[in-house]
Amino acid sequence: MTMSKHDTPENNLSKALEDIRAGKIVLVYDFDDRERETDMTIASEFVTADVLKRMRNDAGGLVCTTTPNRTAKELGLPFLSDVFWNNRDSYPLLGLMAPNDIPYDNTKSSFGITINHRRTYTGITDSDRALTINEYVKTIFSDEPADNKIKELGEHFRAPGHVHLLNTTSKLLKTRHGHTELCTALMYMAGVRPSATICEMLGGNGIANSKEAVIEYSKKNGMQFVTGEQIVEAWDKFLEETGMDV
């Protein structure tokens, strides 16, 4: 990914969208004033056991799969913080542990429920998680009515499991600028099913890899590196051109 004098942030993003459509991993840095972290991301429909192995070995964070807000609401896939809050009368500690003090985020956590496909064994192996992610995406974005998709989710998945779901906020990238939203926006702009599978890149010292270290990694491995600023700017143009409401 060596930048030439003719490269610009705009055409760098275009290359990232091309890679997403081709089923490749791209690297997404959020913001200097937010997490200051980079996530490996790939369109969930292209996740394989080999992809998950690379995320484990080269990224090392938590593997998660995103769901657009409207889809989550349609299918009854809750934010986990809401599940906890709504059960605080039975389990008071859950109310006391509400995520109301996240230092880089004014909204609640994007974590949803965790799932395994019923055909998995333990659910944690690379092949098991790839199966869960692939089948989840096929199900939630099928052309079936919502009631049918809900029935299929109940028949074919169990919760809790080993795949962590993340729900985007409504009005994508208007109220929250986390990797959940940034990477899902990339999927919309690439024209693939709008679910991203993501994993934070951590260094050998146990903390997030620096932006500079990730850029060097991207060059060595032929991966595109994009920033939150690039994505937000492109997303605003995309909404203006398409009139999409997500």
Active site residues: 39, 64, 104, 116, 162, 200
Half-sphere exposure of 68 (CA within 13 A, CB side): 19
AA identity, residue 216:
E
Q: Please report which helix (H) or strand (E) contains residue 85, including its range.
A: helix 80-86
* Cβ within 8 Å of residue 245, ≥6 positions away: none
DSSP state of 202: B
Give the position of tokens 């491995």.
221
Q: Are strands 26-29 and 225-227 parallel, antiparallel or unpaired?
A: parallel
Beta strands in 50-146 (DSSP E): 64-67, 111-117
Helix (H) or strand (E) holding 181: helix 179-190
Q: How far apart are CA 109 and CA 98, in angstroms?
A: 9
